[in-house]
A and B are shown apart, each in its own frame.
Chain A
Amino acid sequence: MAEDVTQPKLSPDEELAASITEAIGAANLVNVQKLPRIREGLVRGNLTSGEWKLLAELGPAVAAKEGASGL
């Protein structure tokens, strides 16, 4: 007989947050180290306008910046 092996389904917020975070990461708009916080903020709805602004101000990681040698 069937065993109860159901994996907990992701909520729509969680599913969407994952895909948004992936898209933001691919677009190289913010520091990759901040992606987990973005995901959490999307899931919980607690990302403030100040945080978004700071993320945008900081931009992507230094190594990924235009003109940076990456060395």
Chain B
Amino acid sequence: MKMPLQHLTIGAFRGATQPVDIAFEDRPVIMIFGENGTGKSTIVDAIDFVCNEHAGTLEGRQSTPVKDYLPALGSKATDLRVELKWATKTWKATLAGSKAKVTGSTPRPKAKILRRTQILEIVDAQPAKRYEAFSRFVAVPNVEKAEGALREADRLAREEYNAAAGSIDAARTELQKLYREAGEPKPDMKSWAKSKNDTDPQDLNNKLSHISNLIAQIGSTTNALTELNGAKDKAAAEALSVQGFTVDLQAAEEVSTEAKSDLIKLLETAEEYLFHHEQEQQCPVCEQPVKRDELLSRLAARKAAGAAVATAARQLENAQKQENRAQILVTNAEGRFLSAVAIVARGFQQSKLAYITAKNIPWKNFTQFTSDQPAANTSENLAAAEEVLTNCAGCLDLLNTDKGTVSSELENLRAIKMQYGAAQKHNGKAKQLESTCSRLSALLKIVENARKDYVDNALDSIRQRVDTLYSKLHPSENIGDIKLQLDPNRRGSLNVSSRFESQEDVPPQAYYSEAHLDTLGICIFIALAERDAANDTLLILDDVLTSADQDHIQRFIEMIHDEVKLPVLITTHYRPWRERYRYAKGPAGNVQLIELLSWTKAKGIRHTKTKLEIDELRDLLRKEPIDRQVVAAKSGVLLEAALREISILYRCKLPLDAEGKHTLGEYLNGLDAKLRKLMQSVATNPGASPGTGADCTTAIQPLMDALDSIAWIRNMVGAHFNLDGMSLSDSEVSQFATATCALLDALICRKCGELPRKNQGSFFTCGCKAQQLHPLTSPGAQSAQIGN
């Protein structure tokens, strides 16, 4: 695993009152150790400032505005700068107002930072708040929106289908009713309805039209006869009137000399002539001279004498005119009646209606009406016409009854066709909708299941990762089995549960110790960071481990090196953590150890490279003259640390001490001769073929035996004021240190810097497996060794 972070320069940023320049090595883990107040958080905040544009621990704090407190004490905001070299590229950040202004290419370096204050938030937060941290892995709002639309489409289609099915039911109910009314003909309603639907209504329409025509013709003919009779009555009345006025005229003529009506007419004509010929002086008839005025007076006098006759004559004349007109009307009415009868006769003669045929009307007697020629207007024909009308009108009741029956049949047929058509139409629509609903339902099932599976899998994947990490930290502790579940009753709400002793699915906050909750929070954070990030994302754990026993520290180190898939930067003030690396109890070769020195405003943040103990011892040996006490003491401590680990691995027999402490001599004696004889250290070369001699095997026994004889030098020179120790030469002290280095060089992996402690079945290996320690068990041990 590569470390993308190469260089960090900090100026006027938080604790960096003086410029800080840190070069990072290409190792998967960086550990920055510093006691409280030495500037660890400043370094992490500086990385956060460039990578995430966050103000680090000041972010979101109202009491400490970024623009006022992000610049170092006594510095101006404009002096602030952070420069980060990351995977060969460089980014620079300055402060613009209260925001970071970062220059450099995209994408930005990626850093996921977990601070101590955030750990409990992850575990102890409200489910909705906790969901926010997970939502970017499990939230699928757009798919959910499209799924909602799909669900709506499914609902609407089902409603449409139900409406269509309802219409089909309604049409079927109506058809059932009509079917019952029709007497439920065989074989079944469906066949009946189809047959009716296939029936052409034209025949019934024709029949109805025929019947209606016959009824109308009878009506018209009857009306024509009525009109004829009326005309006849009128004519008779007019004739009587003429007779009356004739008698009146005769009576007037008898009482007047001038009573002759024709004379009156002549007088009137003469008067009119004179009126129009004013110059006339003689009679136009007798050609005798006349006096016009006298003649006119005479004519007026004579006319007056015959006035009654004249009136009677005019009345008679008018009455005669009325009579003539009445006679004409009679003649016309007779013509119309005869024509109407001819139409009726032809209609009835041609009719195929059974009840008309059954009447047996003697049409041969009425040929004048059934032929193409109109019947003559004679009294015989008129009498025959009335006979025809009487015969035909005798069918009127039957015709009306038949008309009602046919109308009803037609109405039924129309209703059947309408309901059958509706059933067919909705049936087609329902079938199409059924298919649509089926597809929509299948689509919804796919989308719904896929979404649930996706979310479940995403959560399960995170859960598994958390569980893997957590079980690595807490094996055989009856805790773990982490479960992450979305609250089914609350949107965007995530519950965390776990096992505690025999209790399953309990909230960890209820039973777990603070240290266990801390590690759970760290594991969740790492799992999320790994899921979210690419391989070159830097995982930063800022002072997350405050105190832990040796076993937990060891497991934490193993988790960081063996399980975490991201490069890691650790800051800590917890010295035992760092010391494990220094004493080869962790893969120090994979860690860059940086130590922060005490901070002052004048000096700012200072750092130095942390040396491994064995490297320090080598440095001490190189100095002349050697510092005898320090060399002896450091050799002794290093030797004790290594022998203690080996004694634990092989479960060596050591004197029991109330405090569990042992002397160097006890450790050496604990490793008996049988075990020493078998012990071999093998530095493997992974690239070489087996048996090629590329592996370097070192027998441990000679190295241990050499130390047996000089280990007392530690107490004589390095531990106490001792006059006898003063008599030892520098070379004897150096010999003790050199023998210690020789043993440690043989045991410690040159690649990862760790003592082999992992059980590999037949031997122990270091973390990187390049170094082996044989055997796996001590000959004196009663049972198989387990190792770490």
Binding site for B on A (CB under 8 A): 1-4, 6-7, 9, 12-13, 15-17, 19-20, 23-24, 27, 29-30, 41-53, 55-57, 59
Q: Could you say which of A4, A44, A45, A56 contacts B536, with CB atoms under 8 Å apart?
A: A4
Identity of the chain B residue whose Cβ is nearest the Cβ of A9 in the assembled complex: B534
- Bound together, the chains give a CA A16 to CA B580 distance in angstroms of 45
B50 → A minimal CB distance (Å): 14
Chain B CB count within 10 A is highest, among A41, A47, A50, A57, for A47
Is B486 an interface position by the 8 A CB rule?
A: no
Q: Could you say which of B137, B150, B152, B156 contacts A12, with CB atoms under 8 Å apart?
A: B137
- Bound together, the chains give a CA A17 to CA B451 distance in angstroms of 9
Is B279 an interface position by the 8 A CB rule?
A: no
Identity of the chain A residue whose Cβ is nearest the Cβ of B142 in the assembled complex: A45
Q: Could you say which of A9, A17, A30 contacts B439, with CB atoms under 8 Å apart?
A: A30
- Bound together, the chains give a CA A57 to CA B458 distance in angstroms of 33
* Interface 0/1 of B128-170, CB less than 8 Å to A: 0000000011111111111001101110110000000000000
Query: Does the CB pair B146–A27 fall under 8 Å?
Result: no
- What 9 A-B pairs come out closest when comparing CB atoms? A45-B142, A45-B145, A2-B2, A49-B153, A52-B153, A56-B439, A6-B534, A49-B152, A47-B146
Query: Does the CB pair A16–B140 fall under 8 Å?
Result: yes
Q: Which residues of A contact B4 (CB under 8 A)?
A: 1-2, 4
- Chosen A-B contacts, 6 in total, with CB atoms closer than 8 Å, are A4-B4, A20-B450, A45-B141, A47-B149, A56-B153, A56-B440
Q: Which residues of B contact A15 (CB under 8 A)?
A: 454
Q: Summarize B's interface: helix, strand, loop or mixed.
A: helix
Q: Could you say which of A6, A7, A12, A44 contacts B139, with CB atoms under 8 Å apart?
A: A12
- Bound together, the chains give a CA A19 to CA B89 distance in angstroms of 36
Q: Which residues of A contact B458 (CB under 8 A)?
A: 12
- Bound together, the chains give a CA A51 to CA B157 distance in angstroms of 12
Query: Does the CB pair B157–A53 fall under 8 Å?
Result: yes
Identity of the chain A residue whose Cβ is nearest the Cβ of B1 in the assembled complex: A2
Query: Does the CB pair A2–B143 fall under 8 Å?
Result: no
- Bound together, the chains give a CA A47 to CA B107 distance in angstroms of 32
Chain B CB count within 10 A is highest, among A1, A9, A17, A43, for A1
* Interface 0/1 of B439-475, CB less than 8 Å to A: 1101100110011001000100000000000000000
Query: Does the CB pair A2–B87 fall under 8 Å?
Result: yes
A12-B454, A41-B146, A59-B435 known; A20-B446 Cβ under 8 A? yes
Q: Besides A50-B153, A56-B439, 19 other CB < 8 A contacts?
A: A2-B535, A2-B536, A6-B110, A12-B136, A12-B138, A16-B451, A20-B450, A23-B450, A24-B443, A42-B447, A43-B142, A43-B143, A45-B141, A45-B146, A46-B145, A47-B149, A49-B156, A52-B150, A57-B436
Query: Does the CB pair A1–B534 fall under 8 Å?
Result: no
- Report the count of interface residues on B (CB-CB < 8 A): 47
- Bound together, the chains give a CA A52 to CA B153 distance in angstroms of 6
Identity of the chain B residue whose Cβ is nearest the Cβ of A2 in the assembled complex: B2
Binding site for A on B (CB under 8 A): 2-4, 6, 26, 86-89, 107, 110, 136-146, 149-150, 152-154, 156-157, 432, 435-437, 439-440, 442-443, 446-447, 450-451, 454, 458, 532, 534-536
A49-B156, A52-B149 known; A20-B143 Cβ under 8 A? yes
- Bound together, the chains give a CA A30 to CA B439 distance in angstroms of 8
Query: Does the CB pair B149–A48 fall under 8 Å?
Result: yes
Q: Which residues of B contact A45 (CB under 8 A)?
A: 141-146
Q: Which residues of A contact B3 (CB under 8 A)?
A: 1-2
Chain B CB count within 10 A is highest, among A9, A17, A43, A53, for A53
A12 → B minimal CB distance (Å): 5
B105 → A minimal CB distance (Å): 8
Query: Does the CB pair B153–A13 fall under 8 Å?
Result: no
Query: Does the CB pair B454–A3 fall under 8 Å?
Result: no
Query: Does the CB pair A56–B157 fall under 8 Å?
Result: yes
A12-B137, A20-B447, A57-B436 known; A1-B88 Cβ under 8 A? yes
A48 → B minimal CB distance (Å): 5
A53-B153, A59-B439 known; A13-B88 Cβ under 8 A? no
Q: Could you say which of B107, B138, B157 contacts A6, with CB atoms under 8 Å apart?
A: B107
B571 → A minimal CB distance (Å): 22
Q: Which residues of A contact B150 (CB under 8 A)?
A: 47, 49, 52
- Bound together, the chains give a CA A69 to CA B437 distance in angstroms of 25
Q: Which residues of A contact B437 (CB under 8 A)?
A: 56
Chain B CB count within 10 A is highest, among A20, A27, A46, A52, for A52
A6-B536, A24-B446 known; A12-B2 Cβ under 8 A? no
- Bound together, the chains give a CA A30 to CA B88 distance in angstroms of 50
A31 → B minimal CB distance (Å): 11
A35 → B minimal CB distance (Å): 12
A16 → B minimal CB distance (Å): 5
- Bound together, the chains give a CA A10 to CA B87 distance in angstroms of 23
Identity of the chain B residue whose Cβ is nearest the Cβ of A47 in the assembled complex: B146
- Bound together, the chains give a CA A62 to CA B766 distance in angstroms of 65
Query: Does the CB pair B446–A27 fall under 8 Å?
Result: yes
- Bound together, the chains give a CA A55 to CA B150 distance in angstroms of 11
Q: Could you say which of B89, B142, B153, B436 contacts A4, with CB atoms under 8 Å apart?
A: B89
Q: Which residues of B contact A42 (CB under 8 A)?
A: 142-143, 146, 447
Q: Which residues of A contact B110 (CB under 8 A)?
A: 6
Chain A CB count within 10 A is highest, among B141, B144, B153, B451, for B153
Query: Does the CB pair B145–A1 fall under 8 Å?
Result: no
Query: Does the CB pair B439–A44 fall under 8 Å?
Result: no
- Bound together, the chains give a CA A52 to CA B107 distance in angstroms of 38
Q: Which residues of B contact A20 (CB under 8 A)?
A: 143, 446-447, 450-451
- Bound together, the chains give a CA A51 to CA B446 distance in angstroms of 17
Q: Which residues of B contact A53 (CB under 8 A)?
A: 153, 156-157, 436, 440
B419 → A minimal CB distance (Å): 27
Q: Which residues of A contact B136 (CB under 8 A)?
A: 12
Query: Does the CB pair A29–B88 fall under 8 Å?
Result: no
Chain B CB count within 10 A is highest, among A4, A17, A48, A57, for A4
Query: Does the CB pair B443–A56 fall under 8 Å?
Result: yes
Identity of the chain B residue whose Cβ is nearest the Cβ of A43 in the assembled complex: B142
A70 → B minimal CB distance (Å): 20
Identity of the chain B residue whose Cβ is nearest the Cβ of A48 in the assembled complex: B149
Q: Which residues of B contact A16 (CB under 8 A)?
A: 140, 143, 450-451, 454
- Bound together, the chains give a CA A65 to CA B89 distance in angstroms of 57
Chain A CB count within 10 A is highest, among B2, B86, B442, for B442
- Bound together, the chains give a CA A4 to CA B57 distance in angstroms of 28
Chain A CB count within 10 A is highest, among B88, B144, B435, B454, for B454
Identity of the chain A residue whose Cβ is nearest the Cβ of B138 in the assembled complex: A12
A60 → B minimal CB distance (Å): 9
- Bound together, the chains give a CA A42 to CA B147 distance in angstroms of 8
Identity of the chain B residue whose Cβ is nearest the Cβ of A41 in the assembled complex: B146
Q: Which residues of A contact B454 (CB under 8 A)?
A: 12, 15-16, 19
Chain B CB count within 10 A is highest, among A24, A42, A56, A59, for A56
B217 → A minimal CB distance (Å): 58
Query: Does the CB pair B450–A19 fall under 8 Å?
Result: yes
B517 → A minimal CB distance (Å): 28
- Bound together, the chains give a CA A70 to CA B643 distance in angstroms of 80
Query: Does the CB pair B436–A56 fall under 8 Å?
Result: yes
B96 → A minimal CB distance (Å): 25
Q: Which residues of B contact A27 (CB under 8 A)?
A: 442, 446
